[in-house]
């Protein structure tokens, strides 16, 4: 508790660096994502369900593509991956960012030393990771 003019104790050197903050925030965001039933369902479970359903309905059919014919379920894999990517990046991101903004979470964070770039980086990392996860799962099933 010193006078205001002696604020150098918290000077620039003491600030946490961006990569550290981004990774710290990423851990929490990932945890929130995994625990949120809505985002997990639409991002991870729904594409798998699509593939399983379409795959079993059109199990014994195949479709002509340049260079030959492939099994119908295999034909669906890239499209559903595209859906998964969109869900993970656009829908999920938009819904959670709006929710965070409405509940005042971002406003509170703005009062902390956390930079907005760290917040954005953490969200991007979560989105990238969930894209990788759903792509890997769909490829494996397909």
Partner 1 sequence: MKALGIQNSPVQGLAMPDGCGEGGVAIRVRGLRKRYGDVEAVRGIDVTVRTGEIFAFLGPNGAGKTTTVEMLEGYRHRDAGEVEVLGADPARPVPGWRARIGVVLQESQPEAELTVQECVSLYAGYYPRPRPVGETLELVGLADRVATRCGRLSGGQRRRLDVALALIGDPELVFLDEPTTGFDPAARQSAWEVIAGLRDLGKTIFLTTHYMEEAERLADRIAVIAAGRIVAEGTAATLGGRDALASIISFTLPSGVSAAGLPPAVAGAVTSGPGEKVEARITSPLPLLGALAAWATARNVDLPDLQVFRPTLEDVYLQLTRESR
**Minimum CB separation from partner 1 for residue 32, in Å?**
4
Strands (E) located in 52-118: 62-65, 68-71
> 48: alpha, beta or left, given left = phi > 0 and alpha = psi -120 to 50?
alpha
**Minimum CB separation from partner 1 for residue 79, in Å?**
31
Lay out the site mask for partner 1 across 85-104 (x = CB under 8 A, - = otherwise): ------------------xx
- Rounded to the nearest 10 degrees, the angle between the axes of helix 18-35 and helix 92-102 is 100
Q: Which is nearer to partner 1, 54 or 109 (CB)?
A: 109
How far apart, in whole angstroms, are the C-alpha atoms of residue 28 and residue 63? 44
**DSSP one-letter code for 17:** P
Q: Which is nearer to partner 1, 35 or 60 (CB)?
A: 35
**Minimum CB separation from partner 1 for residue 111, in Å?**
4
> How big is the chain by its Cα radius of gyration, in Å?
22
Lay out the site mask for partner 1 across 8-27 (x = CB under 8 A, - = otherwise): --xxx-xxx----x--xx--
How far apart, in whole angstroms, are the C-alpha atoms of residue 41 and residue 18? 31
How far apart, in whole angstroms, are the C-alpha atoms of residue 66 and residue 127? 33
Interaction of residue 60 with partner 1, rule CB under 8 A = no
Among 18, 31, 61, 78, which residue interacts with partner 1 (rule: CB under 8 A)?
Answer: 31
Beta bridge partners of 62: 71
- 105-134 residues in contact with partner 1 (CB under 8 A) are 105, 107-114
| Chain residues in the site for partner 1 (CB under 8 A) | 1-5, 7, 10-12, 14-16, 21, 24-25, 28, 31-32, 35-36, 103-105, 107-114
């Amino acid at each position: 508790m010193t006078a205001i003019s002696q604020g150098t104790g918290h000077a620039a050197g003491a600030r946490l660096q961006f990569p550290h903050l981004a990774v710290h925030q990423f851990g929490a965001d990932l945890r929130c994502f995994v625990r949120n039933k809505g985002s997990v369902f639409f991002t991870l479970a729904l594409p798998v369900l699509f593939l399983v359903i379409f795959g079993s309905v059109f199990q014994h059919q195949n479709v002509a593509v340049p260079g030959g014919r492939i099994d119908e379920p295999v034909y669906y894999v890239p499209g559903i991956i595209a859906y998964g990517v969109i869900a993970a990046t656009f829908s999920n991101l938009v819904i959670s960012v709006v929710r965070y903004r409405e509940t005042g979470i971002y406003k509170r964070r703005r009062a902390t030393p956390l930079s907005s770039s760290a917040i954005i980086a953490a969200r991007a990392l979560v989105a990238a990771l969930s894209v990788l996860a759903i792509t890997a799962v769909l490829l494996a099933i397909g």
